[in-house]
Amino acid sequence: MVNGKMCVGIIKNDLMVRLDPSVYDAVLKKKGCREMNFTGKPMIGFVFVGPVGTRTDSDLAYWVDLALDFNKKAKASKKRK
Protein backbone atom coordinates (compact mmCIF):
# COMPACT_ATOMS: atom_id res chain seq x y z
CA MET A 1 0.00 0.00 0.00
CA VAL A 2 1.21 3.49 -0.84
CA ASN A 3 -0.84 6.51 0.20
CA GLY A 4 -3.66 4.19 1.21
CA LYS A 5 -3.81 2.62 -2.27
CA MET A 6 -2.83 -0.80 -3.54
CA CYS A 7 0.48 -0.51 -5.35
CA VAL A 8 2.59 -3.69 -5.42
CA GLY A 9 2.62 -6.97 -3.59
CA ILE A 10 3.87 -10.52 -3.61
CA ILE A 11 1.59 -13.49 -4.19
CA LYS A 12 3.46 -16.78 -4.00
CA ASN A 13 6.40 -16.27 -6.41
CA ASP A 14 4.83 -13.45 -8.41
CA LEU A 15 4.96 -9.70 -8.14
CA MET A 16 1.50 -8.11 -8.32
CA VAL A 17 1.60 -4.64 -9.90
CA ARG A 18 -1.15 -2.02 -10.10
CA LEU A 19 -0.48 0.15 -13.13
CA ASP A 20 -2.09 2.64 -15.44
CA PRO A 21 -4.74 0.86 -17.54
CA SER A 22 -3.49 2.81 -20.57
CA VAL A 23 -0.22 0.78 -20.54
CA TYR A 24 -1.87 -2.54 -19.65
CA ASP A 25 -1.84 -4.08 -23.14
CA ALA A 26 1.76 -3.02 -23.80
CA VAL A 27 3.16 -4.44 -20.56
CA LEU A 28 1.46 -7.79 -21.10
CA LYS A 29 4.04 -8.32 -23.86
CA LYS A 30 6.95 -8.01 -21.39
CA LYS A 31 8.74 -11.17 -20.26
CA GLY A 32 7.15 -12.82 -17.26
CA CYS A 33 4.05 -10.60 -17.30
CA ARG A 34 0.51 -11.95 -17.42
CA GLU A 35 -2.98 -10.73 -16.64
CA MET A 36 -4.21 -10.81 -13.07
CA ASN A 37 -7.29 -13.00 -13.05
CA PHE A 38 -8.90 -13.87 -9.72
CA THR A 39 -12.54 -14.00 -10.73
CA GLY A 40 -12.45 -15.52 -14.21
CA LYS A 41 -12.05 -12.08 -15.81
CA PRO A 42 -8.81 -10.13 -16.22
CA MET A 43 -8.45 -7.17 -13.88
CA ILE A 44 -7.40 -4.36 -16.22
CA GLY A 45 -4.72 -2.28 -14.51
CA PHE A 46 -3.33 -5.17 -12.47
CA VAL A 47 -0.74 -7.71 -13.64
CA PHE A 48 1.33 -10.54 -12.25
CA VAL A 49 5.02 -10.65 -13.07
CA GLY A 50 6.77 -13.99 -12.61
CA PRO A 51 10.37 -14.43 -11.46
CA VAL A 52 11.71 -14.28 -15.03
CA GLY A 53 10.39 -10.71 -15.28
CA THR A 54 11.98 -9.53 -12.03
CA ARG A 55 15.31 -11.32 -12.27
CA THR A 56 17.53 -8.20 -12.16
CA ASP A 57 17.37 -5.08 -10.00
CA SER A 58 16.54 -3.01 -13.08
CA ASP A 59 13.71 -5.42 -14.05
CA LEU A 60 12.19 -5.08 -10.58
CA ALA A 61 12.69 -1.30 -10.57
CA TYR A 62 10.80 -1.04 -13.88
CA TRP A 63 7.69 -2.63 -12.37
CA VAL A 64 7.88 -0.76 -9.08
CA ASP A 65 8.32 2.55 -10.93
CA LEU A 66 5.26 1.82 -13.10
CA ALA A 67 3.21 1.14 -9.98
CA LEU A 68 4.47 4.23 -8.14
CA ASP A 69 3.81 6.46 -11.16
CA PHE A 70 0.22 5.27 -11.37
CA ASN A 71 -0.27 5.47 -7.61
CA LYS A 72 -0.22 9.27 -7.85
CA LYS A 73 -3.32 9.13 -10.08
CA ALA A 74 -5.06 6.05 -8.69
CA LYS A 75 -8.17 6.32 -6.56
CA ALA A 76 -8.16 4.78 -3.12
CA SER A 77 -10.70 2.06 -2.44
CA LYS A 78 -13.61 3.01 -0.24
CA LYS A 79 -13.02 2.02 3.37
CA ARG A 80 -15.18 -0.81 4.63
CA LYS A 81 -17.30 -0.16 7.67
Is 64 a domain residue?
Answer: yes
Give ∠ CA 13-17-22 in degrees, rounded to 5: 145
Confidence of residue 81 (pLDDT cuts 50, 70, 90): low
All residues at 6 or more sequence positions from 31 whose CB lies less than 8 Å from its CB, including other chains:
52, 53
The residue segments making up the domain with residue 66 are 1-8+56-74
Phi then psi dihedrals of residue 34, to 5 deg: -150, 165
Is 68 a domain residue?
Answer: yes
Is 44 a domain residue?
Answer: no
Is 4 a domain residue?
Answer: yes
pTM confidence score? 0.88
| Number of compact structural domains in the chain | 1
pLDDT of residue 54: 97
Provide mean pLDDT across the span 51-79.
92
pLDDT of residue 28: 97
Cβ(33)–Cβ(47) below 8 Å: yes
Residue 63 pLDDT > 90: yes
Residue 33 pLDDT > 80: yes
Residue 4 pLDDT > 90: no
Is 60 a domain residue?
Answer: yes
Biggest alpha carbon distance in the chain?
41
